Amino acid sequence: MKIVLAEKVSPATLAVFQQEPGWQIVTPDQIKNGLAAELSDADALVVRSAVQADAKLLESAPKLRVIGRAGVGVDNIDTDAATHRGIVVMNTPGANAVAVAELTLGLMISLARAIPRANSTMHAGKWDKKSLQGQELRGKTLGIVGLGRIGLEVARRAASFGMNIIGYDPFVAPVIARENNVTLVPIDDIFKASDYLTLHVGLTTQTEGLINSTSIKIMKKGIRIINCARGELIVEQALADAIKSGHVGGAALDVFHQEPLKESPFYNLDNVILSPHIAGATDEAQEAIGIQLAMQVRDYLKLGVVQNAVNLPSLSHEEYKEIAPYIEMADRLGQFLAHATPGNLENIQISYTGRIAAGKTDLIRNAAIAGIFSSADGGSTANRINAAAIAAERGIRIQEDKKEFTPGGAGSVLKIVLHSSDGDASASATVLHGNSPRLLSYDGIDIEAPLHGTLVAIRNHDVPGVVGRIGTILGEQSVNIANFALGRAHSNHSQRVPHGQALAVVQIDVPKASSATAAVDALRRVEAIASVRLIELGKL
Ligand SMILES: NC(=O)C1=CN([C@@H]2O[C@H](COP(=O)(O)OP(=O)(O)OC[C@H]3O[C@@H](n4cnc5c(N)ncnc54)[C@H](O)[C@@H]3O)[C@@H](O)[C@H]2O)C=CC1
Ligand SMILES: O=C(O)CCC(=O)C(=O)O
């Protein structure tokens, strides 16, 4: 495995990767010919906030499977492009929340007491006590936009200063706000009532430019604004103008539109405190982030465990262990069905029954779709990260239904139905003995066959002698049979499977599926055999 660390990470982060025998770790100082060149054969990329992992950079990384963001905000990563390329994007939510909250409180106190100015005047040999009378935080109203991990840490600390806390976050439960002494209010009330306003939302199309000349106009005169989230949340010139006019009493900014900051409307404004994107940069946070991220990336590369992914639902190690055999089974079932539809694929219906229906099924769904898209020559780029997105791009609808409880306790069963313009194909499967994927039905005929290795699926008329002919032909072609499963349509089956139809799924021992082509051709010439499909089940 090749891991490219594009930005400085803690030594503990390096240590996690270095413990893996044979892994090549590239540190920022070893990147000599540019990041794009380094990524040409990389499996993982680790970034902080400076590197822009955009679509163009990702084009130069054909093998890349995971991007680890050492931190929270992923606005420097084109997650759509990553998803499209089947790359998992992971971050480390919460690991720097206390660090950011502490700096936020530090900046609020610094604004209230003009600590930076007190310090610089003292160093300049001045005793400027008169101009340095401040205000207390006690009794003031703090408005928090974004009550996630950081926003709530800020709220808890601000409560101990005796502040009244109001918050705006459309996605937080009122009970969470209440438990943290936050009164939820509409965003305009935050602007109107806050003495201090602090931003703790990610950069999205909804939050970009949240603080602009219009929102500033309705703010309480003298409001102080703290931004330790993302520079783009504020229209910088509008804020600078409002500070100059005295409508806004001050600002403390850790983040900016352009980083590193080279030119700024805030330079030389007395009541603006600037810091170089350091809110999350504490020894403790960087250590925690680095170790957490390195373990997540390692576990994904080694075991396929997806944790804290922003483009896929995360699973705990236990959850992953439980569904891993079903992910593999879904992929094999999809492969089994690949090319089985008579016309152009329009719709894929995936039904989960039993225990799997109770858990997270996105990985199972994507594996099934990737299996369906897989072709004999391995030309499909769909994988368990991007398969649903690729289906959407191709205009193929995915329908899912779940039934947790089944009469008869059939265990966990996955059923896939491919709907096409000219007809349907369907199959269902389960996992036996912990990790053995088994086919349970194909096109309405019950059967029990291993979903493993090379299979020959034969539809035939249920007449005497066919099974014997199949065995003889395979024997004549020196193809050894590993497993022979038979099923037949019953009169109570759907009308699509006429009574008198049978199915054989034969697992054969061949080094490559192509070694059995002659045998398959011979089988096709048997009159009672309606169709033969040779299926080589690979791993996703
Ligand atoms: N300056 C620095 O060094 C750091 C900056 N950050 C920034 O802080 C942001 C917040 O981090 P966390 O609290 O860890 O993230 P989080 O995901 O735990 O919290 C974000 C909160 O924002 C809320 N939200 C989403 N859209 C909203 C909207 N339109 N209006 C109001 N609330 C909205 C969400 O419901 C969520 O509760 C990150 O996205 C990142 O950009 C994070 C860490 C370090
Ligand atoms: O890596 C850093 O120092 C920046 C952290 C940050 O902005 C984040 O976690 O979103």
Q: DSSP letter at 479? A: P
Distance 203 CA to ligand 2 centre (A): 13
Q: Which ligand is nearest to the CA of 201?
A: 1
Q: Is 205 exposed, middle or buried (0-12, 13-18, 19+ CB in 10 A)?
A: exposed
Distance 114 CA to ligand 1 centre (A): 27
DSSP 43-63: SEEEE-SSS-B-HHHHHT-TT
pTM of the shown model: 0.81
Q: How many CB atoms lie within 10 A of CB 175?
A: 8
Task: Please name the residue whose Cα sits nearest to atom 1 of ligand 2.
Answer: 48
Q: Tell me: pLDDT of 45 over 90.
A: yes
Q: Which ligand is nearest to the CA of 69?
A: 2
Distance 98 CA to ligand 2 centre (A): 13
Q: Tell me: pLDDT of 350 over 90.
A: yes
167 lines ligand 1 (CB under 6 A): no
Catalytic residue selected from 7, 259, 400, 448: 259
Please state, in angstroms and rounded to a whole number, the distance separating the CA atoms of residues 202 and 124.
Answer: 39
Distance 288 CA to ligand 2 centre (A): 13
Please state, in angstroms and rounded to a whole number, the distance separating the CA atoms of residues 364 and 139.
Answer: 52
Pocket test for ligand 1, best of 7, 72, 190 (most atoms within 8 A of CB): 72
Distance 219 CA to ligand 1 centre (A): 22
pLDDT in tens, 73-107: 999 999 989 988 989 999 999 999 999 999 999 99
Long-range pairs, 303-309, Cβ under 8 A, ≥24 = 306/88, 306/90, 306/363, 307/90, 308/90, 308/91, 308/92, 308/93, 309/88, 309/89, 309/90
pLDDT in tens, 373-424: 885 445 567 888 889 988 988 889 999 999 987 666 568 999 999 998 888 9
CA-derived radius of gyration, the chain: 30
169 lines ligand 1 (CB under 6 A): yes
499 catalytic per annotation: no
Task: Return phi, psi of residue 350, to 5°.
Answer: -120, 125
147 lines ligand 1 (CB under 6 A): yes
Task: Return phi, psi of residue 325, to 5°.
Answer: -65, -30
Length of the chain: 540
Catalytic residue selected from 48, 84, 200, 277: 277
Q: Which ligand is nearest to the CA of 176?
A: 1
What is the structure's pLDDT at 384? 85
ipTM higher than the 0.85 cut:
yes
Pocket test for ligand 2, best of 5, 90, 96, 259 (most atoms within 8 A of CB): 96
**In whole numbers, what is the pLDDT of the chain averaged over residues?**
92
Pocket test for ligand 1, best of 201, 230, 254 (most atoms within 8 A of CB): 201
Mean pLDDT (whole number) for 8-29: 95
What is the structure's pLDDT at 17? 97
Q: Which ligand is nearest to the CA of 231?
A: 1
Please state, in angstroms and rounded to a whole number, the distance separating the CA atoms of residues 516 and 453.
Answer: 13
Distance 347 CA to ligand 1 centre (A): 37
Task: Please name the residue whose Cα sits nearest to atom 6 of ligand 2.
Answer: 71
469 catalytic per annotation: no
Mean pLDDT (whole number) for 198-223: 96
pLDDT in tens, 219-271: 999 999 999 999 999 999 999 999 999 999 999 999 999 999 999 999 999 99
pLDDT in tens, 504-530: 999 999 988 888 999 999 999 999 999
168 lines ligand 1 (CB under 6 A): yes
148 lines ligand 1 (CB under 6 A): yes
Pocket, ligand 2, Cβ cutoff 6 A: 48-49, 70-73, 96, 277, 280-281
Indicate which atom in ligand 1 lies nearest the CA of residue 280: 3
254 near 97, Cβ under 8 Å? Answer: no
Indicate which atom in ligand 1 lies nearest the CA of residue 278: 3
Pairing of strands 182-184, 164-168: parallel
Indicate which atom in ligand 1 lies nearest the CA of residue 255: 1
Distance 96 CA to ligand 2 centre (A): 8
Distance 286 CA to ligand 2 centre (A): 10
What is the structure's pLDDT at 312? 84
Q: Which ligand is nearest to the CA of 72?
A: 2
What is the structure's pLDDT at 409? 58
HSE-CB of 186 using CA atoms within 13 angstroms: 4
> Which of 450, 513, 507 is CA-nearest to residue 480?
507
259 catalytic per annotation: yes
Please list the alpha-helical segments (H only) found in 54-96.
55-59, 79-84
Distance 446 CA to ligand 1 centre (A): 51
